[in-house]
Amino acid sequence: MATPTVSPLRWHGRADRAPLVLAVMDGVGFGPGDDGDAVHRARTPHLTRLWAAAPTCTLRAHGSAVGLPSEDDMGNSEVGHNALGAGRVVRQGAGLVQDAIADGSIFASATWADLLKAPIATRDDTQPATLHLCGLLSDGNVHAHIDHVLALLDAAAAAGARRLRVHALADGRDVEDPSFEQFLERLDAHLERLRAAGCDARIASGGGRMTVTMDRYGADWSIVERGWRAHVLGAATPFPDWRAALAALRQLEGGQSDQTLPAFTIVDAAGPVGAVCDGDSFVFWNFRGDRAIEFTRAMEEYEFTPFDRGARPNVHYAGMMQYDGDLKLPTRYLVAPPSIEATMGAFLVATGLRTLAVSETQKFGHVTYFWNGNRSGTLDDRLERYVEVPSDRIAFDRAPAMKAAQITDIALEALASAEPPDLIRLNWANGDMVGHTGNLEATVTAVEAVDAEVGRLRAAVEAVGGVLVVTADHGNADDMWLRDKRGQPLRLPDGRLQPRTAHTLAKVPFSIVDARAGARRWLLAADRAEAGLGNVAATALELMGLEPPPHMDRSLLIWDAAQDAPNEG
């Protein structure tokens, strides 16, 4: 299919233009409906009313519905907002990397060849340069996949690289928590086979993803600094091997969870086994961009101020993908990212309509960068306003209301203005960010906080005669227990139910409140089994009185003249 071009949308002939608010409840799906389902357990009078009386259906938000390789792949906020903003399914990073490894194109690239030159050659002191590989070590397939780094290691060793070092980050969000030991065992067994074949391949450093390296949106640069000290300088807490590191760190505060595992560096008699030196090569193997951009900046930028790097080593650096196409970060990458043109935002700009996008730091990039097809910045400063509410820098289960009220306040202020935007899009982060902590009670409170904001927002939209669309980007808070294949909760050795910190495969809600005078009572294609997040953009455009462009997945609205009655929702 040819890339769609951006051209002004055609009006559908309706003159009842009014502000449309598209609210995303991050991580709020429809789960099993038991005591482990925080959405079910929460007191949600506003959502209950919405789902019972307003036009409502469910949408697929995982697997092929958001461009992921298989139906076992959980959706996530990034691919979810890509689909919401693009109005169609776009094949995503996991699948693109998988394809490139399968057909060998990743290893035929000039970038890969350049990365291997020094590790294959021998320095004057007879020690070859090192190829470093750093990233999230799990099979969650949200940010990265262990199979990808194993393939890189095999290809590098086969090509003649003689010194490989792995800097492994623990997951605990997209997979079972804790499970880092299992992935390290698999990695170490693989490295042992390479060592047996004559390649010096070792684990060099590590830590938990929420405390080491993988910050995003500038929320806490100290996270990246810890990663820099562990991976690049070899200056984190030293241990002789990863088993000793985990045995000790599991006893410390934060060590019980993979997410918050403290940083560690592996050392031998000569010092750190994997400190980065001039002339080395370094690959960040995450395919998803948001939590890879800051470390990439630290590796590539000459003028860098977020923290003191010391002497930046002169290395050949590449990402698995390019994490920001506008900022060209990184400069070199192994697999080209998805190109998402002609997004909903681009068409609204071309039509001259005004947009407000608002969320807190943790999801600000989702209603902007990811919504706009992985493009940084506004599309048109004259027509768009992006507002970021700074997130708290504490564990999210300690303040589960997060910044939901402040986000709503900004939307309400815009609605009450003399010239409200044509579209307001917002994201309440609570269900996802608090859900990832595994704290069931806090997640119940988080969902209740979102429900309160739905009520406030609905009242304001109705007061100005606008349209409200409420949906979600993936499941998370809807199932807080790990379960077996029969759906039965799993228990820890002490008898406690085992918490779930990862996303789910749940469908998500989609509801409409149309408060325009004489508005029709909309019908939704609730029986459309394939309906997913990609259908939302066309539906929203149609509600705005616009004819959706043909490249977008079709609208969920059913145009039935017999239904021209006031909206009872």
**What positions carry a catalytic annotation?**
77
Hey, which residues does 264 pair with through a beta bridge? 206, 237
Q: Are strands 467-471 and 508-514 parallel, antiparallel or unpaired?
A: antiparallel
Number of neighbours of residue 558 by Cβ within 10 angstroms: 13
∠ CA 59-358-515 to the nearest 5 degrees? 60
What are the structure tokens assigned to 175, written together?
A: 């997979």
With H, G, I as helix, E, B as strand and everything else as coil, classify residue 226: helix
Instruction: Decide: 117 and 126 in contact? Cβ < 8 Å.
Output: no
DSSP tally for the chain: helices H, then strands E:
16, 20
Sign of the torsion formed by the C-alpha atoms of 303, 385, 388 and 500:
negative
Task: Fill in the DSSP letter of residue 337.
Answer: P
> Residue 201: how many CA atoms within 13 Å on its side-chain side?
25
Q: How many residues are recorded in the chain?
A: 569
**Closest by alpha carbon to 206, among 135, 309, 150, 256?**
135
In the numeric block, the tokens 């060849």 are attached to 113
SS3 assignment, position 425: strand
| Phi, psi (deg, nearest 5) at residue 136 | -80, 125
Running DSSP on this structure, what letter comes out for residue 310? -
CA neighbours closer than 13 Å in the CB half-sphere of residue 232: 27
